[in-house]
Amino acid sequence: MTQFNICVGVDGSASSRAALSTAVKEASAHNGTVHAVTAWHVDLIEAERYGGFITDDERHGAEESARKTQEAAIDVVLADLKVTPSIERHIIRGLPGPVLVASTRDCQFLVVGTEHKGVLKRTLVGSTSQYCTRHSHIPVIVVPHVTEEHISTLA
């Protein structure tokens, strides 16, 4: 029998916490494992303004910030649960969409949250959930934009 694995994108936003909550519930129901994935990258355009290079300390800082963001999100989602599934933590350098799609190799589905962005921001930055639904080879569950009030009803 194949292990039931769920990949979920975790970026610290309310919608990603809702996605993580959804993944935890599904994994618990199927005795599966949650693969919490947080992508990080250093903005090279921003670095260009400051001489065009990125130090090892800046890289390490960005990775450590991603790790802390992921841990905080997991702590919030698991806080009131009595039984929790196995959670594997992955901190991966790269843009969120490609990192998430590449992380789903042994997973049955991918869960992502979606933020409400204006047209300009969505055009400039892109949409991780749209990238995942276009490029994923497995089903993608997109958890809609949520507020903090919605989060409390999901737990």
Phi, psi of 80 (to 5 degrees): -105, 5
Taking residues 124-145, what's their average pLDDT?
85
Q: Is the pLDDT of residue 98 over 60?
A: yes
Is residue 121 very low, low, confident or very high in pLDDT (cuts 50, 70, 90)?
Answer: very low
Taking residues 122-150, what's their average pLDDT?
78
Higher pLDDT residue, 47 or 4?
4
Residue 11 maps to which CATH number? 3.40.50.620
**CA distance linking residue 101 with residue 95, whole number of Å:** 10
Number of domains in the chain: 1
Higher pLDDT residue, 122 or 26?
26
pLDDT at 57: 80
Q: Helix 56-78 crosses helix 14-29 at what angle (to 10 degrees)? A: 60
By CB atoms closer than 10 A (0-12, 13-18, 19+), residue 8 is buried
- Segments forming the whole domain that contains residue 61: 5-154
Taking residues 103-114, what's their average pLDDT?
94
Place of tokens 């960005």: 62
Q: Half-sphere exposure (CA, 13 Å, Cβ side) for 123?
A: 3
